[in-house]
Amino acid sequence: NAGVMQNPRHLVRRRGQEARLRCSPMKGHSHVYWYRQLPEEGLKFMVYLQKENIIDESGMPKERFSAEFPKEGPSILRIQQVVRGDSAAYFCASSPATSGGLKQYFGPGTRLTVT
C-alpha cells in the first residue's frame, strides 16, 4: 500500500508566480490535512478537507491561498502571486474516515522556495 504522495518535492517560484502543490492520500483515505512548516519551526494547521468538501480552512491565509480535494484526483494546495514569506515546507497528511482524523499519515512534503 503506497503511502501519502506529494509532488513536486521541491518547487522554485519567482515572486508573483503561482505554486500548485499536489497530495495523493493513502488508498482508502478520504480525509486530507495541509500543514505549513517554516524553517526551524513547528507545523501549522492550514486546512482540512474531505472529498469535494472543505471542512475547516481557518488556518489558511485569507488571500492567495486555496485548497481543493476533488472527487477524482489529488488534493491541490494553490498559492497565487507567491511572496518570499511563502517559502516553507508544505506537508499533507491523510487519514481514513473511520479514525475521525485522529491518526494521520504524512507525505514527504513539498519544499517551496520563492526567489
Partner 1 sequence: QQPVQSPQAVILREGEDAVINCSSSKALYSVHWYRQKHGEAPVFLMILLKGGEQKGHEKISASFNEKKQQSSLYLTASQLSYSGTYFCGTTSGNQFYFGTGTSLTVIP
CA 37, CA 26: separation in Å to the nearest integer?
A: 21
Give the up-direction half-sphere exposure of residue 95: CA atoms within 13 A in the CB hemisphere.
12
Q: Are 2 and 104 in contact (CB under 8 A)?
A: no
Q: Of the listed pieces 11-19, 36-44, 70-78, 79-87, which binds partner 1 according to CB under 8 A?
A: 36-44
Closest CB to partner 1 among residues 46, 82: 46
Closest CB to partner 1 among residues 48, 65: 48
Amino acid at 80: Q
Closest CB to partner 1 among residues 17, 108: 108
Element (H, E) at 36: strand 31-37
Among 19, 24, 48, 90, binds partner 1 (CB under 8 A): 48
Using CB under 8 A, list all residues that contact partner 1: 33, 35, 41-45, 48, 55-56, 58-59, 91, 101-109
